[in-house]
């Protein structure tokens, strides 16, 4: 199973709507650990993504993901604009030349996103950032690269969810939560919550096409 560039566009429009709808939850997650602006930042980013994708007639999957990343990077600002912009820009570029989006493409996307974010922000797994959801998702995507995309996305979304849950037991080393020390314990990282929403929405879209 694979998705055409037009289907990837529809999938990303659903991702944008899901993040916009989750704004109160994401704001609360960031309030528990940081300054509370994550939900509104992501909402602003996803409104910019919708404005770019709605009129688009994509000719490649790379184009859809890179446009998503550029829209987030230029509209959000702050740490998460650079971080989530890099996810989709670096991830999208790794799909250059691929005519469709399949489970092997998903593995390349997530691996390049992980590498790009680690390079850009300097955090690593265990620092209680969105990397703690992306890293297990990328590893599971590589393991699942021979499965149909809908099945791979099921496994990958579950791995991201487990990573988000594991972030509850981590002490933050980055961002505003860094000053909290052990007061971080019990709360998941807000960016990891965003990653889970994105992958769950991709999973549901692929399931609806299969």
Indicate which of Mg ion, ligand ADP, none lies near residue 189 (CB less than 5 to 8 Å, by partner kind): ligand ADP
106 binds ligand ADP (CB under 6 A): no
Give the separation between CA 203 and CA 71, rounded to whole angstroms. Answer: 23
Indicate which of Mg ion, ligand ADP, none lies near residue 78 (CB less than 5 to 8 Å, by partner kind): ligand ADP
188 binds Mg ion (CB under 5 A): no
121 binds Mg ion (CB under 5 A): no
Report how far apart, in Å, the C-alpha atoms of 119 and of each of 85, 86, 138, 209 are.
13, 10, 16, 35
C-beta separation of 133 from 196 below 8 A? yes
30 binds Mg ion (CB under 5 A): yes
CB of 60 to ligand ADP, least distance (A): 27
Query: What stretches of the chain show up as alpha helix (H) in DSSP?
Result: 5-21, 23-33, 38-53, 61-76, 78-93, 103-121, 131-143, 149-166, 190-209
CB of 148 to ligand ADP, least distance (A): 30
34 binds Mg ion (CB under 5 A): yes
Give the separation between CA 42 and CA 26, rounded to whole angstroms. Answer: 9
Binding site for ligand ADP (CB under 6 A): 30, 34-35, 37-38, 41, 78-80, 83, 117, 121-123, 129-131, 174-176, 189-192
């Amino acid at each position: 199973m694979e998705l055409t560039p037009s289907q990837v566009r529809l999938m990303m429009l659903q991702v944008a709507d899901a993040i916009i709808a989750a704004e109160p939850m994401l704001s609360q997650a960031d309030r528990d650990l940081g300054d509370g602006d994550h939900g509104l930042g992501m909402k602003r980013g996803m409104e910019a993504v919708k404005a770019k994708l709605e009129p688009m007639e994509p000719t490649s999957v790379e184009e859809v993901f890179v446009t998503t990343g550029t829209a987030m990077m230029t509209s959000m600002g702050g740490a998460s604009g650079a971080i989530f912009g890099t996810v989709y820009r670096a991830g999208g570029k790794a799909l250059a030349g691929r005519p469709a989006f399949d489970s092997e493409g998903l593995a390349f996307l997530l691996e390049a996103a992980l590498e790009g974010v680690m390079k850009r922000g300097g955090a690593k797994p265990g620092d209680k950032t969105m990397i703690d959801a992306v890293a297990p998702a990328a590893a599971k995507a590589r393991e699942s690269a021979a499965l149909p995309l809908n099945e791979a996305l099921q496994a990958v979304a579950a791995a991201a969810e487990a990573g988000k849950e594991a972030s509850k037991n981590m002490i933050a080393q980055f961002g505003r939560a860094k000053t909290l020390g052990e007061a971080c314990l019990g709360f998941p990282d807000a960016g990891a919550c965003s990653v889970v929403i994105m992958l769950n929405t991709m999973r549901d879209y692929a399931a609806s096409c299969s």
